[in-house]
């Protein structure tokens, strides 16, 4: 209960101050001397759908891993809704409201579609120590029912409610991706990070996902979308960040960024410098 109140209070604070949801300052990531991200600073106000683009190896996934705290941060500062979470582990970032998908589909094969989505909805209960959840036999039943409702409405948003009793292995790739998005949505995130959600999808499936993401944006969810498909980025995003060699080389609306000389150079493959 306490946590819920705290969460709502946090949310109100964001609304009132309308400060940036995500604030990244001088983010640098080194892997054994290789600089994967080099002093990247950016600010992302709430409510928009952001695109993150860049050629292979430009640092997009490293950036996503760093801000979800799955990957390391060598230097710099991460702030979410005004709170510094640079040193926190990934599960704390998730509890703050940063939800993410991965490049590969990661569903539990032995859980049904509904149960997979319920895992996301468990989000607020899982903050309690195991022993409290374990011995709360009567209240668990009620909470389980609520969690089921949350998961069902998330599945409804992604259009998979009819498949709730199926297992992930019997769904198409595109549908599995949507189950993952439902799992994220069930956790009621404030920021959704999507790592190439449409990679390997048919154009029709990609269109479905685009529509879904724009719908979520319209309902107020802030998202950062990593994608290779520039036409999709162009179609759905409000604001684009372009990375190359671990540096932020351009940002702005998708047309401006696409026309940026540095971005063109990075994509067309003109040799850098000498």
Partner 1 sequence: MLNFFSSNEILLQTIAVFSLLAFSVQISLRAGAFSLAGVGCWAIGGYSLAISDRHDMHPVIGVLIGIVVSAIISYLLALLLVRLRGLYLGMATIAFNQMVGIALIHGGDFTGGELGIYGIGARISTFQLFAVLALVSFLLWALERGMLGRAYNIVRDDEPLAASLGIDSESMRRFAFVLSGAVGGLAGALNAMMLGIVSPTDADFPVIVIALTMVIVGGYHSWLGALIGAALIQWLPIGLQSFGIEGMSEWWSVVYGLLILFIAVYMPRGLLGGLQRLGSLMARRHQDFREA
Residues found near partner 1 in the complex (CB under 8 A): 68-70, 89-91, 94-95, 99-100, 102, 106, 108, 110-111, 115, 118-120, 122-123, 125-127, 129-131, 133-135, 137, 140, 143-144, 147, 183, 187
Q: Closest distance between partner 1 and the C-beta of residue 272, in Å?
A: 32
Q: Closest distance between partner 1 and the C-beta of residue 269, in Å?
A: 32
- Whole-number Å distance between alpha carbons of 136 and 8: 24
Q: Closest distance between partner 1 and the C-beta of residue 259, in Å?
A: 35
Query: Among residues 79 and 122, whose Cβ is nearest to partner 1?
Result: 122
Query: Among residues 54 and 120, whose Cβ is nearest to partner 1?
Result: 120
The torsion of the CA quartet 161, 163, 169, 171, rounded to 10 degrees, works out to -90
Query: Among residues 142 and 211, whose Cβ is nearest to partner 1?
Result: 142
Query: Among residues 144 and 256, whose Cβ is nearest to partner 1?
Result: 144
Query: Among residues 180 and 251, whose Cβ is nearest to partner 1?
Result: 180
DSSP letter for each residue of 9-62: HHHHHHHHH---SEEEEEEEEEETTEEEEEEEEEEE-TT-EEEEE-STTSSHHH
Cβ within 8 Å of residue 183, ≥6 positions away: 107, 116, 117, 119, 120, 154
Q: Closest distance between partner 1 and the C-beta of residue 265, in Å?
A: 34
Q: Closest distance between partner 1 and the C-beta of residue 94, in Å?
A: 4
H/E stretch holding 206 reads: helix 203-218
Q: Measured in whole angstroms, how far is the alpha carbon of residue 44 from the centre of its chain?
A: 13
Q: Closest distance between partner 1 and the C-beta of residue 90, in Å?
A: 4
Q: Closest distance between partner 1 and the C-beta of residue 249, in Å?
A: 28
CA proximity to 37, closest of 22, 18, 52, 50: 52
Query: Among residues 64 and 249, whose Cβ is nearest to partner 1?
Result: 64
Cβ within 8 Å of residue 54, ≥6 positions away: 60, 242, 243, 244, 266
- Whole-number Å distance between alpha carbons of 190 and 31: 29
Query: Among residues 103 and 172, whose Cβ is nearest to partner 1?
Result: 103
Strand order in the sheet with 191-195: 98-100, 191-195, 222-226, 49-53, 239-244, 247-252
């Amino acid at each position: 209960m306490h946590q819920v109140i705290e969460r709502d209070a946090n949310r109100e604070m964001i609304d009132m101050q309308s400060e940036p949801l995500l604030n990244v300052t001088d983010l640098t990531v080194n892997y054994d001397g290789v600089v994967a991200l080099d002093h990247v600073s950016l600010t992302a106000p709430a409510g928009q759908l952001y695109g993150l683009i860049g050629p292979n190896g430009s640092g997009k996934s490293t950036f996503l891993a760093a801000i979800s705290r799955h990957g390391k941060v060598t230097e710099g500062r991460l702030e979410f809704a005004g709170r510094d979470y640079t040193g926190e582990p990934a599960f704390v970032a998730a509890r703050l409201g940063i939800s993410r998908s991965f490049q590969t589909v990661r569903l539990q094969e032995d859980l049904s579609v509904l149960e997979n989505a319920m895992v996301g909805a468990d989000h607020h209960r899982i903050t309690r120590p195991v022993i409290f959840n374990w011995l709360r036999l009567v209240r668990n039943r009620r909470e389980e029912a609520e969690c089921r409702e949350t998961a069902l409405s998330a599945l409804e948003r992604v259009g998979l409610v009819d498949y709730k009793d199926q297992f992930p292995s019997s769904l198409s790739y595109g549908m599995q991706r949507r189950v993952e998005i439902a799992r994220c949505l069930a956790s009621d995130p404030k920021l959704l990070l999507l790592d190439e959600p449409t990679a390997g999808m048919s154009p029709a499936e990609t269109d479905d996902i685009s529509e879904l993401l724009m719908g979520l944006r319209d309902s107020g969810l802030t998202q950062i979308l990593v994608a290779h498909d520039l036409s999709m980025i162009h179609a759905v995003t409000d604001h684009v960040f372009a990375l190359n060699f671990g540096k932020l080389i351009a940002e702005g609306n998708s047309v401006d960024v696409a026309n940026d000389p540095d971005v063109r150079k990075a994509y067309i493959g003109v040799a850098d410098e000498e």
